[in-house]
Amino acid sequence: MHPSEYPVLGEFKNDSAKDMRLFLEMVPEEVVLSPGQSVKLLAKPSAGLLPLSIDYVEGGLQIHARKEFDPDWHVQFNGRVIKAGNPTVLADDE
């Protein structure tokens, strides 16, 4: 399955005046949203993926899959599907 076909697990928008981070699992994948930016979070479907746990942390949100150790996280931003990295700074893709 191509990442563009992965299901949308959530939509996130930064309504604040400073950068917000989506910390994905405990591995070093994170997505940095500048003020006003929004993304759709995608991941390869698996039996251990849902439901997601989302916690507020300093600087953003910590997102965990239910039992999947390292989901294939991607984001959809400005019509593009981007692999989440360490870090993925969306301002670099505008």
Cβ count near 63 (within 10 Å): 23
Cα–Cα nearest to 93, from 4, 22, 9, 83: 83
Percent of the chain with pLDDT over 70: 100
Judged on CB neighbours under 10 Å (0-12, 13-18, 19+), 87 is middle
DSSP state of 85: B
For residues 51-79, average pLDDT: 94
pTM of the model: 0.93
Q: What is the pLDDT of residues 23-55, one digit of tens each?
A: 998 777 999 999 999 999 999 999 999 999 999
Q: Using CA atoms, how far apart are residues 33 and 31, in angstroms rounded to an integer?
A: 6
Check: CB of residue 42 under 8 Å from CB of residue 22: no
For residues 1-8, average pLDDT: 96
